[in-house]
Amino acid sequence: MTRNSRFSVDGDTVVITGASQGIGKVTAEALAADGANVVVSSRSQERVEDVTAAINDSDAPGEAIAVECDVRDRDAVEALMDATVEAFGRIDTLVNNAGASFMADFDDISENGWKTIVDINLHGTYHCAQAAGERMQAQEGGGQIVNFASVAGTKGSPRMSHYGAAKAAVVNFTTTLAYEYAPHDIRVNCIAPGFVATPGVESQMGVSAEDIDRAAVERRIGHSEEIADLVQFLASDASSYLVGETIEAKGVPPIDESPEV
């Protein structure tokens, strides 16, 4: 195996949740372009079918299938994993990308709003990791699980207490599960992005990918493609010595300008 081939996911089967747009969609496109078979999933069958159609109509060597799945629904998650194994025979990598958030002061977050965000971001990660992990343990060669957290979960973020709490739990969950799954040849790692120019960020903050200057290293917001590169790294043999880690991808962090006390 050459050094560059260690970054390859050619021939692997990758399940990506929350893949109808943004990071999930771009990741599916990138991995399929490298030869992976990708299972594109979200709550909207129509939207994931659009993603898979574009991949299958391109010259990407990997095949894509669309599976509707709400990660909060265990039966739907089990059906997603079953469909993957039926189509491709195994699950090499699970990308737990599905997530949701809204911005609000803590005092204005209702119990239902809090539970909804925690359910999607944390409980959904649990469902998918456990269902995929069961199938990875039953197959030769184990697999990889790539969870998605956020710098809101590692550093905290104003007006995102519900989201930050759920993502902080995902970071801890990653570390713990990595210990438990290592004997089964399953590597578990996590990516914690900062601001990325996704449709979700654009709708909440009005910043689009076209507004970003990529000429300088001093970057405050990233592109989905830059996160997809990290996913491919963690799904490949190139990251074989990374287990239980959370990689922050946040560009140049702001300098703390708070006055000394």
- The helix/strand/coil state of 145 is strand
Read off the amino acid at residue 70.
Answer: D
Residue 249, phi then psi, degrees to nearest 5 = -120, 95
Give start and end residues of each alpha helix (H) in the chain: 22-33, 45-57, 74-88, 111-118, 124-137, 151-154, 161-181, 199-205, 224-235
Rg (CA), the chain: 18
Which residues in 61-79 are b (16+ Cβ under 10 Å) and which e?
Answer: ebbbbbbbbbbeebebbbe
- In whole angstroms, what separates CA 208 from the centre of its chain? 20
| 3-state SS, residue 80 | helix
**Of 163, 179, 181, 241, which is the active-site residue?**
163
Structure tokens at 76: 């739907």
What are 38's strand-pairing partners? 14, 64
The reply to whether 179 belongs to the active site is: no
Q: Which residues are catalytic?
A: 163
